[in-house]
């Protein structure tokens, strides 16, 4: 299976905020799991999705239970609110991402 890194952000944010928060979650993933590079190759993809806040909270807990490489970002400037999660996908995480929309989509 090709290993993809996913970020999922709060869809109520602006596109600029989504980009920044997604980047924060990716950095958390890299800093918290330095061995992740052993499971990556140049064939990997980065998938950026969005979800409403309540679903993001649900996904944070479910994803944590299904992959060892996961992280989340709590934004102090937004009242210490969860804004994004990031994880290395596997067969067990597929069901949680299949119905989510791309983070930024051209109209």
Residue 42 is predicted with a pLDDT of 55
CA 61/CA 59 separation, integer angstroms: 5
Q: Which of 100, 90, 99 is nearest to 9 (CA)?
A: 100
Per-residue pLDDT of the chain (107 residues; tens, 9 = 90+): 567 899 999 999 999 999 999 999 999 999 999 888 777 665 668 999 999 999 999 999 999 999 989 999 999 999 999 999 999 998 999 899 999 999 987 65
Looking at domain 5-102, its CATH superfamily turns out to be: Bit1 (3.40.1490.10)
6: three-class secondary structure by DSSP = strand
Residue whose token pair is 């409403």: 52
Residue 77 is predicted with a pLDDT of 94
Residue 3 is predicted with a pLDDT of 78
Residue whose token pair is 């067990």: 92
**Domain spans of the chain, in order of start:** 5-102
Please tell me the pTM assigned to this model.
0.92
């Amino acid at each position: 299976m090709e290993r993809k890194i996913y970020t999922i952000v709060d869809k109520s944010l602006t596109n600029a905020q989504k980009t920044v928060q997604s980047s924060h979650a990716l950095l958390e993933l890299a800093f918290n799991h330095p061995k992740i590079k052993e499971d990556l190759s140049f064939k990997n993809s980065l998938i950026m999705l969005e979800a409403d806040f309540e679903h993001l909270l649900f996904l944070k807990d479910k994803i944590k239970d299904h992959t060892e490489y996961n992280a989340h970002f709590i934004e102090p400037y937004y009242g210490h609110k969860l804004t994004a999660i990031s994880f290395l996908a596997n067969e067990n995480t597929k069901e949680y991402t299949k119905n989510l929309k791309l983070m930024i989509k051209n109209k």
